Structure 1
Amino acid sequence: MEDDNLHIIENGCVHQHNVLNTTLAYLQPYYHLDPQGVLAKSRVRDETYDPIGADPKDVAQFWEGLQTRFVKRRHSRYDQLEDKADIPDGCISIFLQGGFPHQQRTAYCDPKTMLRTVAKYAGGRPVVVKAHPSSNIKQEAELIRSLLSEGVELYPTDANIHDILEKSVVSVSYNSAVAIEGFMHNTPAILFGASDFHHICETVREPDHFPMAMGRTLKSKHDYARYLYWYFKNHCYDIDDADLDAKLLARFAQSGFTGERLGLVNKPSWLAKAARIDQAAQELGAFLDKQPEVGRYLLLDALKVSEKSWVYKARVNGEKVVVKRFLSGDVAHTVRSLQGELAYLETAFNDDGFQANRCLYAWPESGIVILSFAPGQRLGDRIAESSGNARARLMQQSGEWLRRYCASRQRNTTFGPGFWVKRAAAKNSDHFTSEEDKLLLGRVLASLRDQAEGVKGVPVVQAATHGDFVGINAHFHRGTIYGVDIQGECWLAVAREAARFLVWLQVHDPVRNDDRRFGISVEYIDAFLKSNVLNPAEQTTTLSFFLGEQLYGRFIEEYNRADIRANTRAAIEMYLAK
């Protein structure tokens, strides 16, 4: 790896002066950023645990936070059963980990030996066993069945880990995060593998050492709150920490890469963003693992990870797809509405030139859908790189796509522009830095108010439509337009949907040295309207009004982008000169 660059490797174990290794440190929101390795191979394993020094108040506050986030909510890294399970009191609990410990060469024996050993020396205590949720559960289940058939006394369960841990006298694993979660229940741990939290655990390197380790464990009295505080606060990075950026820059500087050298001074934390993307992928993966209709999958690129939704490009059952999880509002209603709308469009679009992505799988209560992947390039990009007749055909086809979407669900009514004027006036423009731009915005609003008197009560066609049909929400591939990012049924004036498409295109990819109509290039607007998406009367009434309303909104929403700001300013000047 290049000496001049700082390399951060996910799940890495690379020892090099310009390398840091990172991954989730067992519990959200803590991450390793370690020059030695991660998890069992992090440098914490070589540290000497010092229980003295931490402020008791800080420890108590930290402990209460863990209790609230994990124990009281019965929450873990992987999805857990919500139903309370009946676990035998005083049991020994074993948590399998799939093949990971052996792949990492941190296991001191094979799973069968570990299970046999614990059952043999359990001393009459029930031995509860849980398979790892993201491993090959069939393989682990077969292992447990084979031991049961031999007479080994085990109690398999898929219960919530917190139900298991609160009834356990000890947890057993190679080096599982569940051991740390057990500490939150004051449940001690015995490990059959190397770990970086061995300081308050018994580690069994040879199976016949287990009875002695068990005896010492049952007599142990550790301050788990103080240990977890020492581990996470001194050796991990909290992605919710208000001082995260400063701490990251300090860590980089220890490796010889100052903020100035990296160009990261006064910039937001990209590592925190990467951690959130990684966590979202892990949670989606844990969910998909449990769905019988999902035979195999691979999450590829994160298209969006926000507080409202996660969107990932993926492959599921051999097909390229988009996986979405909605996080805000009534997610079940959102998914069902999306599912219904896309089912409707499969029949509404009966022509190869006009399509929308399909809903392949849906789990409404979890807010998760899997959609077919729309091929090709974004429609806006395709239009921008075209010219002449090719561009005109694309514009007309875009209008036709919208016309077909709206054709069978329409209603005729009269226009009430006052609502849209009030909505525009309520938008916040405090971020404007130019007095001239503020004045220009005011002129647009004044124009809308003037027009409102003339268009009030005119006929308008409303329809169930896309709701955000713009150049980034459609793809073009081999002559077909595919609509994407479609939610549920959305009723709007068709003229507003047309105006939204035209204004977005004008401010993102304006045609230079061209005549304008209502601020929009005639090369765009004329070809688009040839599709008959709007009747002739609305082309000079409601469309004109909505073009102004959309220009007003775009100017505010995308003001911080200098190129869009300049393009919108030019379009507004032409709109006002109409």
Structure 2
Amino acid sequence: MMAKGQIVFHLPRHLLGDLQIPPLYQVLRRGFQARGAEVTLRYRDLRALQDLPQGADFHFVHNGGGTGACVLNTAVAYLLPYFYFDPEGVYFQSRSNRASFDPKAVPEATAARRFQTLHQRYVRPRLSRYEQPQEHSTLPKGAIAVFLQDWSEPVEAARFMSTQAMLQTVIAGAAGRPVVVKPHPRNQGPETVMLLHWLARKQPQVLVTQANLHDILQAAAVCVSICSSVAIEAMLHKKPAILFGKSDLHPCAVTVQSPQDWPAALAHALSFDWPYQAFVHWFFDQHLRGGDVMWLPLLQRMQAAAADFAALGISPPSPPARQ
């Protein structure tokens, strides 16, 4: 008798309950169950995931970074409604991180349409992935805008230096530009509290604001973060992004690995003609999955990752998956 397989969602402990499971996995669970598959939630044990037994199950790993048969790593890809379903990892560990970006190879008209769609979705209504205040704020023109992220697994894995070291580097090398700092709207833990106290005591010239990030970006000259999704939103404002961490957004941004890199990074960010439209289309349309869960492309990715559809009780995709 053929072994029966399950769809397994590997989630951190705080996301395992039915009331805590993220919307993406709720949609996936309903969709797989409607197609006849059994779905189970499992604690994401990173050590165990390094040596998954070969079997009939198929695994979706939240914020995963491992490879292997029958595994796709999943996460929100900076902006909704885009997601990673990647066999290698998410963010700087994703397959797109090693892909070659050639803006000249991207169709201009297609890129312009994707850019305009995202601009209308986020910039015009002043919306973001996280809730923003809707009142309008006046911010310093030409500022260096720094966006804090606080501690999280992806940020900790990506950073080249501490957030305080990043802030010290930016403030010391601001070259006469004002510095504006926005705390993360949802993730304001001990790191952020410490940094805000430090700024108030030691750097009173720095403006700390909770303003809508689109007001900040519209006024700013450049956007700075460890690896935040605001880098993409800056691109939608056609403002350059500087990253102090590893990111798959690096082909259209400047990366700073040490304080010594900062002066040249700022100068390059402000002087280069960045291919924002081409990159946004290349990144979102060629490497991610968008919209509501698109089942044919998702099943094709599962097929490419050696899913045993017969054991899972799911009809295989047609046409065959592209390699």
Query: Same-fold call, TM > 0.5?
Result: yes
How many residues align structurally? 265
Partner residue of 2:114? Answer: 62
Does the CA contact (< 8 Å) of 2:132 and 2:185 recur in 1? no
CA offsets per residue over residues 93-139 of structure 1, 9 Å max, x none?
Answer: 00011012676421111111111110111011110001112223564
Q: CA deviation at 1:152?
A: 5.8
User: Does residue 1:36 correspond to 2:88, yes or no?
Assistant: yes
- Which residue among 187, 193, 208 is the counterpart of 1:156? 208
Q: CA deviation at 1:200?
A: 1.4
Q: Which amino acid aligns with 1:142?
A: M
Partner residue of 1:262? Answer: 312
User: Does residue 1:218 correspond to 2:270, yes or no?
Assistant: yes
Greater radius of gyration (CA): 1
Does the CA contact (< 8 Å) of 1:12 and 1:22 recur in 2? yes
What is the rounded CA distance, in whole Å, between the counterparts of 1:117 and 1:176 in structure 2? 18
Partner residue of 1:143? Answer: 195
What is the rounded CA distance, in whole Å, between the counterparts of 2:273 and 2:81 in structure 1? 27
Partner residue of 1:134? Answer: 186
Does the CA contact (< 8 Å) of 2:103 and 2:279 recur in 1? yes
- Which residue among 172, 182, 201 is the counterpart of 2:253? 201
Does the CA contact (< 8 Å) of 1:131 and 1:141 recur in 2? no
Partner residue of 2:218? Answer: 166
What is the rounded CA distance, in whole Å, between the counterparts of 1:238 and 1:102 in structure 2? 21
Q: How much identity, in percent, do the aligned residues show?
A: 35
Q: Provide the secondary structure at the position in 1 that maps to 2:103.
A: coil
What is the rounded CA distance, in whole Å, between the counterparts of 2:309 and 2:220 in structure 1? 47
Partner residue of 1:3? Answer: 54
User: Does residue 1:100 correspond to 2:152, yes or no?
Assistant: yes
Q: Which amino acid aligns with 2:226?
A: Y
Partner residue of 2:42? Answer: none
What is the rounded CA distance, in whole Å, between the counterparts of 1:68 and 1:37 in structure 2? 29
What is the rounded CA distance, in whole Å, between the counterparts of 1:182 and 1:239 in structure 2? 21
Q: Which runs of 5+ in 2 are unaligned?
A: 1-51, 318-323
Q: CA deviation at 1:15?
A: 1.9
User: Does residue 1:191 correspond to 2:257, yes or no?
Assistant: no
Q: CA deviation at 1:17?
A: 2.1
Q: How does 1:303-314 map to 2 (within 5 A)?
A: none
Q: Provide the secondary structure at the position in 1 that maps to 2:306.
A: coil
Q: CA deviation at 1:55?
A: 2.9
Q: How does 1:385-404 map to 2 (within 5 A)?
A: none
Partner residue of 2:68? Answer: 16
CA offsets per residue over residues 391-419 of structure 1, 9 Å max, x none?
Answer: xxxxxxxxxxxxxxxxxxxxxxxxxxxxx
Q: Which amino acid aligns with 1:250?
A: Q
What is the rounded CA distance, in whole Å, between the counterparts of 2:203 and 2:274 in structure 1? 35
Pick 1 or 2: higher relative contact order, CA cutoff 8 A, min separation 6. Answer: 2
Q: Which amino acid aligns with 1:47?
A: A
CA offsets per residue over residues 252-287 of structure 1, 9 Å max, x none?
Answer: 1111125445332289xxxxxxxxxxxxxxxxxxxx
- Which residue among 86, 89, 92 is the counterpart of 2:141? 89
What is the rounded CA distance, in whole Å, between the counterparts of 2:70 and 2:316 in structure 1? 22
Partner residue of 1:247? Answer: 297
Q: Provide the secondary structure at the position in 2 that maps to 1:52.
A: helix
Q: How does 1:117-516 map to 2 (within 5 A)?
A: 117-137=169-189, 139-151=191-203, 153-240=205-292, 244-257=294-307, 259-265=309-315
Does the CA contact (< 8 Å) of 2:151 and 2:189 recur in 1? no
Q: Which runs of 5+ in 1 are unaligned?
A: 268-578
Q: CA RMSD in A?
A: 1.9
Alignment CA distance shift 1:103-1:230 (3 Å): closer
TM-score, length basis structure 1:
0.44
TM-score, length basis structure 2:
0.77
Alignment CA distance shift 1:240-1:56 (3 Å): farther
Q: CA deviation at 1:153?
A: 3.0
What is the rounded CA distance, in whole Å, between the counterparts of 2:215 and 2:157 in structure 1? 30
CA offsets per residue over residues 317-352 of structure 1, 9 Å max, x none?
Answer: xxxxxxxxxxxxxxxxxxxxxxxxxxxxxxxxxxxx
Does the CA contact (< 8 Å) of 1:23 and 1:38 recur in 2? yes
Q: Which amino acid aligns with 1:2?
A: P
Q: Which amino acid aligns with 2:213?
A: I
Q: CA deviation at 1:2?
A: 3.3
Alignment CA distance shift 1:54-1:258 (3 Å): farther
User: Does residue 1:113 correspond to 2:165, yes or no?
Assistant: yes
- Which residue among 48, 63, 78 is the counterpart of 1:26? 78
Alignment CA distance shift 1:151-1:73 (3 Å): closer
What is the rounded CA distance, in whole Å, between the counterparts of 1:17 and 1:92 in structure 2? 44
